[in-house]
Amino acid sequence: MTLNTYALGLLALALTAPVMAEDSYSTADLGGKLTRFGAIVAGNAAGTIPAYEGGFKAPAGLVPGDGTWPNPFADEKPRLRITAANADQYKDQLAAGQYQLLKSNPDTYYLEVYPTHRTAAFPETFLAATQRNAGRAACKTENDGLSITEACRGGLPFPLPKDGREVMWNYILNYQGVNGWDWNHSAYVVNQGHPTLTNTNRSTGEKPFYQLDVPGRDPKIAQRIWSRIVAPARTAGQASGYWDYLDPVENSRYAWSYSTGQRRVRKAPEFNYDTPNSAFGGVAFYDEIFLFSGKMDRFDWKLVGKKEMFIPYSNYTLKWGCDMDKKLLPKHINPDCERWELHRVWVVEATRKDGMRHAQKKRRYYIDEDTFGAAVYDAWDDSGALYRTGSQYNIEAYGIPNNPQQDSYSLYDFTRDQYGMFGNGPTRYRAEPVSEREANPQTIAGGQTR
């Protein structure tokens, strides 16, 4: 397909692309018209989204490195470049934040759109549990969608989501491997055109939701993340973490922090909602970690439907092919480091409830149908002005294990003209789950060097 043909196909689609309803699908379609995890198997009519054929299969000789994965699409060329000049033609397939970044930076920012690859691959245990959840009445939300039952554990909770909160639970619990995983994580913030290192840390994250029957582990834990700061020197030795539960109404987030000055672990109830996250230079709220994190009680969540959108995908170059000096430009990420593809996404809109406090009035999420990650996110303030936009950068971690990885994301704050990029180091999957002793905050704090 030539560049012009591809662009014309996208343009025609952009002018006519409606939000697609999902009501016509049922449990019987899983493994047929739908993948076993609920995505539409067929490609689109324009040929710009291919059919799903089981996900990425690494050719012989393409072998992961030490916590890194070589780019399997390194030789591909962009099929389309979206700039400020032609953004209006594709506006229906661009998030509001993407559109504003293009229009605000006409000389330096653009989206390089590459051929779409449906790379998501999952193990049989996950797929079987996902199909089980679709036909199992015991797997459901409770407390007006704020909680999820333990019966859902082991698979995607809602391969046929019926409302916005079910889609968001899929996003919160999107599959990234069975056992605990850890990575070296660097967070940078651009402030007035100058990259500033906020911290480099060793982070560990896991989803006990997929780790069944681990001795001593509370089966009610959905996920937990903790980190140890190693740089810069002024904060080295500090540690923090949070545990989220399947029923946050009964068990609210357990958040803690360790200060080298006080040499004690303290509960940190402020690690919630719209409290600015100082580790990210104030560019992110705590409920914007990985674009959404925490309890959904301050918003009403509406499932708008499904549509075709440009989202970040297969960003091997951004993670490992561009160092910080190259990828962080004064006003935005270097567009030569990013890769964008056209995918079908779930569209979820969150509107702040009457009487609830939050700095943002409305949010919108575009969530990939294959991975339930690779999201794009926009937020607006009380005046209706665009407040923030964010992108989550995925890869397929092929080999053993073979699963999507979604540990990097960016956030742009239009009110402060700043942005942050988080999660840039090597990722190492663990063969065994983290022991409960190792995950104890006192143990984590005791392992610090200061």
Q: Look up residue 311 and give its amino acid.
A: I
| CA Rg value for the chain | 21
pLDDT of residue 18: 56
Question: Where are the strands (E) in 176-296, listed by range?
Answer: 181-191, 194-206, 221-231, 239-245, 254-259, 264-267
Residue 142 bridge partners (DSSP)? 147
pLDDT of residue 7: 58
The two beta strands, 147-148 and 181-191, are: unpaired
The CATH code that applies to domain 128-200+298-424 is 2.50.20
pLDDT of residue 450: 47
Residue 308, SS3 per DSSP: strand
pLDDT of residue 22: 58
Half-sphere exposure of 272 (CA within 13 A, CB side): 17
pLDDT of residue 72: 97
pLDDT of residue 445: 83
pLDDT of residue 23: 59
Distance CA 59, CA 321 (A): 20
pLDDT of residue 177: 80
The pLDDT averaged over each successive group of 10 residues in the chain (450 residues) is 53 54 83 97 97 95 89 97 98 98 98 98 95 95 98 97 98 84 69 80 87 87 90 86 96 94 90 89 91 97 97 95 90 96 98 98 98 96 98 92 88 93 75 80 74
The helix (H) or strand (E) run that includes residue 405 is strand 403-413
pLDDT of residue 185: 65
| CA angle in degrees (0–180, nearest 5) for 405-407-413 | 135
pLDDT tens for each residue of 31-76: 999 999 999 999 999 999 999 999 999 999 999 988 889 999 999 9
pLDDT of residue 347: 98
pLDDT of residue 198: 81
Q: Look up residue 408 and give its amino acid.
A: S
